[in-house]
Amino acid sequence: MKDDVYLSLFRVLDSEQQIITRTDQKAFTMLSLMGVFMVFFLVHFTKIQINWFNFIMLMLYLVSAILALIQLIMVINPRIRKAKDREDLPEINATYFKGIVSFKSAAEYGKYLRKIMGDDTRAYTMFANQVYSVAQINDYKNGHMQLAIKFFAVAIISELLIVMSVAYSRSLPFLFGN
């Protein structure tokens, strides 16, 4: 029974870590797309005839593109606050890389893990805390990813409207004469 409890915790932890990986991949993909669309925009920027519609769309594009970039950076480099001191947690978090490298050697780390794993309550609490921490990171990243998607959509739509406006203003005289 004891192994089943830990196995379920490890499955949840693995699932949460896969979600983090997929969210990071989405953020990097969106950053690449933003770069491509920004280059496309800069190439055609000099062709834009400024009128009120294009000016408003240009401002909307710039603001939403900047906000999308900020949100994507928040996904890639999350700003997570450290949990307040809790008495039920071990003094060193042996499931987090900072805790692991705080040991002088792998042997010392192994001794500490054996000590923790000898106490079922402390071991389970430590791993449950790890799962909870990863889930909090996922929640944070997902929130910023959703905002980034919305800002990205607004930026792309406004950019496409500007391009359509430029194409319309340039082709109108040829289609219908002066």
Q: Is the pLDDT of residue 1 over 50?
A: no
User: In the block, which residue shows the tokens 């921490």?
Assistant: 133
Our count of domains for the chain comes to 1
pLDDT tens readout for residues 137-168: 899 999 999 999 999 999 999 999 998 888 88
CA–CA gap between residue 41 and residue 116 (Å, rounded): 57
pLDDT tens readout for residues 55-108: 999 999 999 999 999 999 999 988 766 666 556 666 677 777 777 888 888 888
As a whole number, mean pLDDT of residues 13-32 equals 91
Tokens encoding 92: 């060193």
DSSP letter, residue 46 = G
C-alpha count within 13 angstroms, C-beta hemisphere, residue 157: 8
Domain that holds residue 39: 2-81+90-176
- For residues 34 and 68, the answer to whether their CB atoms sit within 8 Å is yes
Residue type, 89: L
pTM summary value: 0.78
